[in-house]
């Protein structure tokens, strides 16, 4: 399974999954249809699945056009997004499985950003290789999503699920927010040498117009403050030793950043 990162809107990423053997494709969170049409034409592939993580328009905006062009496509989303995702046909719960080609992904229920948010995790085919996590707006490179419909406690639980995945998991998040996320991270975890090095690297990438997605989950665990609520430096910055409160205060600081 190959993953192609497609740019959309102002800072969105759409992910196109391609199975060369069967010459089929699936798309994760199609913000708009045109970038997907273009890549499918280049690959001469048939679109068989749309995997939505949540209902926001910048993740489902291309659904209807894609369905018109590929009437056999199957549209997936979380069960609690029923009625909110255009064309949704399959309603997924925590622990559900979805198949694309010869790969099977686990569905992880990760409410917080929205009440119905899900993520898709494809474990590595061979031990030690990278897995693939499509996490929408729950976990970002260097950050996490705003809490529009969920609570801090829900988001901590959701991020804990993602944090438990192997370090060599590639994090395919849906926005190019990394540089600004790391600028904020330095305000609450500035003595973190891993974070300092990552900020320098990301600054260089963005100066060259290069994408910072995917990231690696192991890097996120060392540098992303929204996965580090148990770290003394973050507890000191938030004047809290309680995990949910520590997270909530970091999220509030980022909202005002």
CA 192/CA 180 separation, integer angstroms: 17
Judge whether 54 is annotated as a binding position.
yes
Instruction: Say which CATH number the domain at 185 has.
Output: 3.60.15.10
Full-model pTM: 0.97
Judge whether 117 is annotated as a binding position.
no
Q: Which domain holds residue 32?
A: 2-255
pLDDT digits (tens, 9 = 90+) for 211-239: 999 999 999 999 999 999 999 999 999 99
All residue ranges of the chain with pLDDT < 50 are none
What is the pLDDT at residue 18? Answer: 98
What is the tally of structural domains in the chain? 1
Q: Which positions are annotated as active-site residues?
A: 54, 56, 58-59, 113, 137, 175
What is the pLDDT at residue 128? Answer: 83
Crossing angle (nearest 10°) for helices 243-255 and 178-188: 120
CA 6/CA 69 separation, integer angstroms: 19
Tokens of 223: 């540098």
What is the pLDDT at residue 194? Answer: 98
Judge whether 113 is annotated as a binding position.
yes
């Amino acid at each position: 399974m190959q993953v192609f990162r497609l740019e959309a809107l102002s800072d969105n990423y759409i992910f196109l999954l391609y199975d060369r053997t069967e010459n089929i494709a699936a798309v994760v969170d199609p913000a708009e249809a045109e970038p997907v049409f273009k890549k499918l034409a280049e690959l001469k592939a048939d679109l068989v699945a749309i995997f939505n993580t949540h209902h926001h328009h910048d993740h489902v905006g291309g659904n209807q056009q894609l369905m018109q062009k590929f009437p056999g496509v199957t549209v997936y989303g979380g069960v609690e997004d029923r009625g909110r995702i255009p064309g949704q046909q399959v309603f997924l719960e925590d622990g559900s499985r979805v198949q694309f080609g010869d790969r099977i992904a686990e569905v992880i229920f990760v409410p917080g950003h929205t009440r119905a948010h899900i993520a898709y995790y494809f474990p590595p085919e061979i031990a030690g290789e990278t897995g693939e996590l499509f996490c929408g707006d729950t976990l970002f490179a260097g950050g996490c999503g705003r809490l529009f419909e969920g609570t801090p406690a829900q988001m901590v639980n959701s991020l804990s699920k993602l944090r438990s995945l192997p370090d060599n998991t590639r994090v395919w998040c849906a926005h190019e927010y990394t540089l600004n996320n790391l600028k904020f991270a330095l305000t609450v975890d500035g003595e973190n040498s891993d974070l300092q090095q990552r900020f320098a690297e990301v600054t260089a990438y963005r100066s060259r117009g290069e994408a910072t997605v995917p990231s690696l989950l192991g890097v996120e665990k060392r540098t992303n403050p929204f996965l580090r609520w148990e770290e003394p430096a973050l507890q000191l910055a938030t004047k809290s030793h309680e995990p949910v409160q520590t997270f909530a205060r970091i999220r509030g600081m980022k909202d005002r950043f």
